[in-house]
Structure 1
C-alpha cells in the first residue's frame, strides 16, 4: 500500500480531530445527557419560514438563477441586508465591505490563509475557540497569549515572534459571550486590544458568532465599530468582523460573512474563487428572504428560550457543584465555563462521566493552544431542556464530588 504519510504536506501533521465534533455523535445516544455541542436547538429553527422561502423562489421563477453559479462576493440583496445590520450596530459600510462565506468557520480559514506564513504568530485568548485553532493550524503558526496583556509591552510580542522565526500577524478575539468561556470583553479591554494592534501594526479578527445572543446588560460596541470611530472610515480599519447565521437562523445552510475594509475583501474574493467559487446561491437567496421578514422576531424568540436555560443551569450549578468549583455567569451566548478543583482532569472526568453519570461535556484543555487548562470544562445549555439541565448537573455534581473525595 502507498505510504501516504511521506507525501502529505507538513501542515497535515497539525490537523487534529475536533473533540467537539466527536462528542456530537453522543447526541444520538438516548442514555446520555449532553451539554457538549454548542449547537442551536432545532426546535427553534424557523423551518416554516424557510419552506415558504424556497417554495416562493421556484413559484416566482427564480429557481433557475437560484440553482446557478453566482458571484464570489455573495448574493447582492443578502449583502445589502448584512450591511444594514452592520450599520445598526455602529459599523457603517457598503456591500463592497461584505463577502459571504460558508459559515464563519470558512471565514476563519480564509483569514488564516491570508495572513499566516509558517512560523508567524497569532495572538489568541487562553482559552480560545477550538475551531479557530483548527482553522489557523493548517497554516503553521505559533501562538502567543493575548489576554491578559495589560503589563506586557507591544515590543515584547514582536521580539518573541521574531525569535520564533516569524512576525505577529493578527489578534483573534471573540468579544461577546465567547466560546468557550461565555466571557464578554468590556469597552476598555476592546480599546486596549486595538491599541496593541496599532502598536504592532497587525490585523484584528473579531469573531462575532454570538453577538446577537445577549440576554442581560447593555451592548458593548464591536471592535470594528470602535476602530471606525478611531479612523473615520471602514476602509481605513484593521479589524475584520466575522458574522454568522448559524446561531440565529440555521447552521445547516452554512452561511456567514466577513465585514472589512474593501481592499481586504477584494483579496478574500480571490480566495473564494479558488476555494469553492461561491457559497450556495439558493441558500443565500432563502436566507435573504427569511432575514428580511423575520430576523428580529427569530432572535427575540431564541433569546427568551436560551435565557431561561442559562438561568436554569446557573441555578443547578449553584445547587449541586461541590466546593472547589467555580463557573462563569455569561450575559449571553450558549456556554458556561467551569473550573474544577485543582488537579482534577476534565478529560478523565469525561471518561468516567460517560460510563457512570451519563453526562457529556467538553474538556477544557482542547481550548488552550498549549494544552493546559486540564482542570476546566465547557457546558452548553442551548440544546438541553430544563429537566435535562436539572438532572444532568445534579449527576455531574455528584461525580465531581466523588472524584474530589477520592483524590
Structure 2
C-alpha cells in the first residue's frame, strides 16, 4: 500500500528531530557529547521520588493514583504551582493552570488552538527546535520576531496577509533560551507585549529554564509584566508554559500552562480529546517532591550547572581559534557558537565525529528558514569539568582542521 497518498498534508511538515537522533550517540562510550540539552540523571532527587511513589501507592492513595483523573490536573499540584506563580508576581488561581504532559505538549496544544493553515507565527531566529516541531503540524508560516520594535505591527500584518492568513502569536523562550542561552531583557519583553497588543495576538512565553539562573538580575516574566499593565491575568494575552523537566525529572512528563481561564477552558477540552489527563501518579509524585525538596534541590542544580558553564566558557576562551564567537549565558544549559561565515555546522559535525569523537547540534535546525548554517549549539549539562575541557579542545582542533 502507498501510505503517502493518504497521509495528511501536515505530515510533509513533520521531520525527525535532529537532536533526538544525536542523542543515540550517548550510548557510544568514546563520544564526548555536547549535543543533548538534557539534565544530568546523577542529579535527579531519586530518593525523594522513591518515597513519593511509595506514598502514592500506599493503601490510602493507590486508588486515586491509579485511577482516571480530571483533565485540568491534580488539584494539589495546581495549587502548588499557583504559589510559585505568585512568587513571580503572577497572581492566579487553580482555574488558571492546566497540567500538561511536559511543556512540549503545551506547545502542541497552543499550536492546535491558535493556528489555522497559512497563519503566521512570530518566532526567534534561531528558536527552540521543539517549538518549530510542535507548530509545524498546523501548517503555519513563520516570521522573524524582532522584540525591540524594529518592525511595525503593520509590516507583520501585511506579510501575514500576503501568505493567506494572519499573525496569531509571538513565541519566545525568555530566560537562557534553547538554543542560544540568551535572555530577553526587560525592554524586549515589553516590546513583545506592545507588539502583541497592536496585532491583537497571543504571546507564548516558554519558561522551561526559569529556575536555572546562575548570576545576573532576574527579569520579571512577560506574564507578570502584562499583569502589571492590565491588572489581572484574565485581561492578559500571555500564556506561560512551565515545566518540571529541567528542575525535577523529565521522564515523568509534567508541565503546565498558566493563563486566562477562558483559554485554559478551551485547552481542557483539547486535553480531554487528546489523552483525557496527564498521568495521575506522576502528578502526585511531582507534587510531593516539589513540596518537600524543590527549593533546596534547585539550589543544588544551580551550583553544579553554573560550575559546568564556567568550565565551558573558560575552555572556549582557551582553545577556540580567532573568528569563532559564543554567547555567555547567565543560566540554563547552552552556549551558542557562531563560526566564520564560510563554515557549515553540519559538515563540521561529520568531521568532528570522525576525527575527534565530539558531538554537538548544528545550528541550522533551530532556524525556521534553515539559515544559520555557520552556527552550533553546545550543552554543558551532562559533562564534568574534565570532559568539557577535553571536548572543547578537540572541537577547536576540528574547527582549525576544517
* Residues in 1 aligned to 2:167 and 2:34: alpha-carbon distance in whole angstroms: 35
What's 1:358 paired with?
Answer: 357
Runs of 4+ in structure 1 deviating by more than 4 angstroms, as ranges, are none
What's 1:343 paired with?
Answer: 342
What's 1:165 paired with?
Answer: 164
Say which SS state the counterpart of residue 180 (structure 1) adopts: coil
Say which SS state the counterpart of residue 127 (structure 1) adopts: coil
After TM superposition, give the deviation of residue 149 of structure 1 in Å.
5.3
* Residues in 2 aligned to 1:107 and 1:151: alpha-carbon distance in whole angstroms: 29
* Residues in 2 aligned to 1:285 and 1:355: alpha-carbon distance in whole angstroms: 45
After TM superposition, give the deviation of residue 58 of structure 1 in Å.
2.4
After TM superposition, give the deviation of residue 30 of structure 1 in Å.
0.3
Q: CA offsets, 1:212-243, max 9 Å, x none?
A: 00000110000000010011000110000000
Q: TM-score, normalised by structure 2?
A: 0.99
After TM superposition, give the deviation of residue 211 of structure 1 in Å.
0.4
Say which SS state the counterpart of residue 57 (structure 2) adopts: helix
Gap runs ≥5 in structure 2: none
Say which SS state the counterpart of residue 353 (structure 2) adopts: helix
1:328 aligns with 2:294: no
* Residues in 2 aligned to 1:286 and 1:189: alpha-carbon distance in whole angstroms: 37
1:126-137 to 2 correspondences below 5 Å: 126-137=125-136
1:23-102 to 2 correspondences below 5 Å: 23-102=22-101
* Residues in 2 aligned to 1:382 and 1:184: alpha-carbon distance in whole angstroms: 18
Say which SS state the counterpart of residue 248 (structure 1) adopts: coil
Q: CA offsets, 1:355-390, max 9 Å, x none?
A: 111000000000000000000000000011111100
* Residues in 1 aligned to 2:147 and 2:373: alpha-carbon distance in whole angstroms: 19
What's 2:174 paired with?
Answer: 175
What's 1:113 paired with?
Answer: 112
* Residues in 1 aligned to 2:151 and 2:87: alpha-carbon distance in whole angstroms: 35
1:263-302 to 2 correspondences below 5 Å: 263-302=262-301
What's 1:140 paired with?
Answer: 139
1:16 aligns with 2:15: yes
Q: TM-score, normalised by structure 1?
A: 0.98
After TM superposition, give the deviation of residue 150 of structure 1 in Å.
2.5
* Residues in 1 aligned to 2:180 and 2:96: alpha-carbon distance in whole angstroms: 30
1:382 aligns with 2:374: no
After TM superposition, give the deviation of residue 64 of structure 1 in Å.
1.3
What's 1:228 paired with?
Answer: 227
Paired residues of 2:160 and 2:167 also in contact (CA < 8 A): yes
After TM superposition, give the deviation of residue 341 of structure 1 in Å.
1.1
Aligned length: 402
Say which SS state the counterpart of residue 252 (structure 1) adopts: helix
Say which SS state the counterpart of residue 298 (structure 1) adopts: helix
After TM superposition, give the deviation of residue 148 of structure 1 in Å.
5.5
1:262 aligns with 2:261: yes
1:184 aligns with 2:168: no
Paired residues of 2:311 and 2:389 also in contact (CA < 8 A): yes
Say which SS state the counterpart of residue 256 (structure 2) adopts: strand
* Residues in 2 aligned to 1:284 and 1:27: alpha-carbon distance in whole angstroms: 29
1:240 aligns with 2:239: yes
1:307 aligns with 2:269: no
